[in-house]
Structure 1
Amino acid sequence: MAYRRTPAVQARLDAQRETVLKAAVALLAEDGYAGCSMAAVARRAGIATGTMYQHFAGKAELSVELFRTVVRREVEAVTEAAARADDPHRRIAAVVETFAARALKAPRLAYALLAEPADPVVEAERLVFRRAFRDLFAVQVAAAVAAGTIPPQHPELTAAAVVGAVGEALVGPLAEGGGHPGDLVPALVDFTLRALGGH
């Protein structure tokens, strides 16, 4: 007969997994992907390295879950910012503004997500990350087209181009440590609105 975990044991394991993921996010923000070894995450989480394998088969599986956790948080923040805006132009601006400002406030984390050399499994997650933002942005582009505030265009193609351009524009500043957004965020918003034909 197969062993069944009691609710109390499962709750303890779930809480421990959450602690591990928080430790991994903190390490990613400090040292990037290279600093997120199973041993380093275990130390940060206050558990034995062997215990990590109760939650993840290895670094590749941990990295996938880590990237998904961080991306989910970033997508939620950008979605909420867009929802607070009251017209299509402002929603488009809010997406770019929030994405860029959050990246510059956590430059090491954002650099790890966008550009740090990494294993193929991480590269695959980066594609998921880009698609998530492309899809979110495409919704805003489609709404602005429907409202007549920007010229007709292919929302997904436009969104992919803008997300790629904004990400590329951020890589240099992120590699240098981010710092204060200064004129960069407003310039990226201005670029985006001009690229969409709405300025």
Structure 2
Amino acid sequence: MPRATQSVRSTSARAQSPDKRTAILAAARDLVSRVGFREAQMTGVADEAGVALATLYRNFPSKAALMVEVVAAVAQREVDAAAGLAMGDGTAAERLAASASLFASRALLGRRLAHALVAEPVEPEIEAARLRYRRKLARVFETIIEQGIRSKEFPVQDAQASAACIVGSLFEGLVGPLASDTLSTDADRQNQARAIVGFCLRGVGSKDVVT
């Protein structure tokens, strides 16, 4: 094999290494957390990651492809965090309150990124990734509701529909608090998050609302 060809293939392999992709994804996530999906451009991601633009495109052929992976990575992290509490100790109501509250509090801590994941207008591919995120999160709540029905903490209901409503309430209810404005304080946002979680618990028929 000619030396020039070996060099090209070696460079391509390095560009598409797991470490390189990880660095690019981290840079893209950090950029989205500051400016959102719309304003996060490939040139900015390349600068943030410290790679050439050509290297970025060898790893991710388009901005949409990159942002789909950003959504998937961030979503899995949030789902895992909620699932950790959902599978812990306590009554179904306590675990549902804890996992929903954790989701809300983490969203408020990273408001710009959470707003991008919840409400920012995006391309169809990214929206499809966000829908997968919602379904995964709903499945966490659905499992708790099913357990609550079996233990007779919650009345008999369609657990899948109830879980979808909880996710919808969290996403839509947090749009205002997540917005980048100066019209509300951190305390106001936390109070609204607690009110949303209380609403969700009442929605599944919890007798003791824990928020």
TM-score, length of structure 1 as denominator length: 0.90
| Identity over aligned pairs, percent | 37
Aligned to 2:104: 100
Name 1:168's counterpart in structure 2. 172
Name which of 89, 93, 117 aligns with 2:93. 89
Taking a change above 3 Å as real, the CA distance of residues 133 and 108 of structure 1, as seen in their structure-2 partners, is same
Unaligned runs of 5+ in 2: none
Aligned counterparts of 1:141 and 1:110: Cα–Cα separation in 2:
25
C-alpha deviations, 1:145-178, integer Å up to 9, x for none?
1110010001100111111112111001111358
1:86 aligned counterpart, secondary structure: coil
CA contact (8 A) 2:89 2:95 kept: yes
Scaled by the length of structure 2, the TM-score of the pair is 0.86
Instruction: In structure 1, list runs of 5 or more residues that go unmatched.
Output: none
Residue identity in the other structure for 1:163: V
- Give the corresponding residue for 2:194: 186
- Supply the AA of the counterpart residue of 1:120: P
The answer as to 2:72 corresponding to 1:68 is yes
Moved over 4 A (4+): 9-12
Distance 1:106 1:122 in 2: 19
Matched, 1:36 2:43: no
Distance 2:16 2:186 in 1: 39
Q: Residue type of the partner of 1:179?
A: D
Q: Which has the larger radius of gyration?
A: 2
The answer on whether the counterparts of 2:15 and 2:55 sit within 8 Å (CA) in structure 1 is: no
Secondary structure at the counterpart of residue 61 of structure 1: helix
Helix, strand or coil at the partner of 2:105 = helix
Among 12, 15, 34, which residue is 2:19 paired with? Answer: 15
Which residue number corresponds to residue 198 of structure 1?
206
